[in-house]
C-alpha cells in the first residue's frame, strides 16, 4: 500500500526544481494552454503571499493546490488539480481542506475561487466544503467559457 503524504512546497527545498517540473507537467496535461500557469509557475510560487500543497504517492505527485492571500481579508484558491489516475480517491478534497486551513491561519474572512460550471466534480467538491456561488463571470476563461465565482466566508469571533 502506498502512503499518501501532503507536503507544503518550500522555496528552499533541495528538490524544488524537480517538484515544480512534475507539477508543471500535470498543469499542462489538465488545463488548456490559455488557462495554464505552466510558463509562470515558478514565479507565482516565489511570491511571498502564495503557497502550494501537494500530495505525494510514493515518488509521484498525485495532485496539488495553489493558493494566495492578496489582502489581509481574502484568500484565493488559484489552482486545484489531481492527476487522472489518482482521481476519485479523495485527493482533491484533502488538498482543498488543507489549503482552506492554511488560509484560515492568515485570519482571512473569505476564500474565493473560479470554476468552470461544466466541471461538475469540481463544483460538487467546492459545494461539499461550503463554497457558494457568488456570480457567473462571462468569458472568464475564454470568449465562450464562463466561470462561477465561488466563495467561502468564515465566522469572525
pLDDT tens sequence across 57-93: 878 899 999 999 887 789 999 999 999 999 999 999 9
Q: Tell me: the pLDDT tens digits for 27-66?
A: 888 888 777 776 777 777 777 888 899 998 878 899 999 9
User: Domains in the chain: how many in total?
Assistant: 1
CATH of the domain at 111: 3.40.630.30
**What pLDDT shows up at residue 91?**
94
In DSSP notation, 44-111 reads HHHSTTEEEEEEEETTEEEEEEEEE-SSSSEEEEEEEEE-GGGTTSSHHHHHHHHHHHHHHTTT-SEE
**What pLDDT shows up at residue 135?**
96
**Could you tell me the residue range of the domain that residue 13 belongs to?**
4-153
Identify the H or E element spanning 125: helix 120-128
- In which band, very low, low, confident or very high, does the pLDDT at 3 lie, cut at 50, 70 and 90? low
Mean pLDDT, the chain, rounded, equals: 87
**In the predicted model, is pLDDT for residue 11 greater than 90?**
no
d(CA 76, CA 110) in angstroms, rounded, equals: 8
**What pLDDT shows up at residue 45?**
74
Q: Residue 48 gets which letter from DSSP?
A: T
d(CA 80, CA 40) in angstroms, rounded, equals: 16
- In which band, very low, low, confident or very high, does the pLDDT at 94 lie, cut at 50, 70 and 90? very high
Cell of 90: 479523495
Amino acid at each position: 500500500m502506498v502512503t499518501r503524504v501532503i507536503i507544503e512546497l518550500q522555496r528552499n527545498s533541495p528538490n524544488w526544481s524537480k517538484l515544480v517540473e512534475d507539477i508543471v507537467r500535470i498543469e499542462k496535461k489538465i488545463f488548456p494552454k490559455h488557462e495554464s500557469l505552466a510558463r509562470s509557475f515558478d514565479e507565482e510560487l516565489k511570491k511571498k503571499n502564495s503557497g502550494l500543497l501537494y500530495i505525494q504517492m510514493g515518488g509521484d505527485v498525485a495532485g496539488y493546490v495553489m493558493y494566495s492571500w492578496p489582502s489581509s481579508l481574502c484568500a484565493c484558491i488559484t489552482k486545484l488539480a489531481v492527476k487522472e489516475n489518482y482521481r476519485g480517491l479523495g485527493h482533491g478534497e484533502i488538498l482543498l481542506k488543507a489549503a482552506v486551513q492554511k488560509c484560515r491561519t492568515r485570519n482571512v474572512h473569505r476564500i474565493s475561487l473560479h470554476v468552470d460550471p461544466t466541471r461538475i466534480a469540481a463544483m460538487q467538491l467546492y459545494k461539499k466544503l461550503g463554497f457558494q456561488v457568488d456570480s457567473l463571470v462571462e468569458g472568464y476563461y475564454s470568449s465562450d467559457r464562463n466561470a462561477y465565482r465561488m466563495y467561502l466566508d468564515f465566522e469572525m469571533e
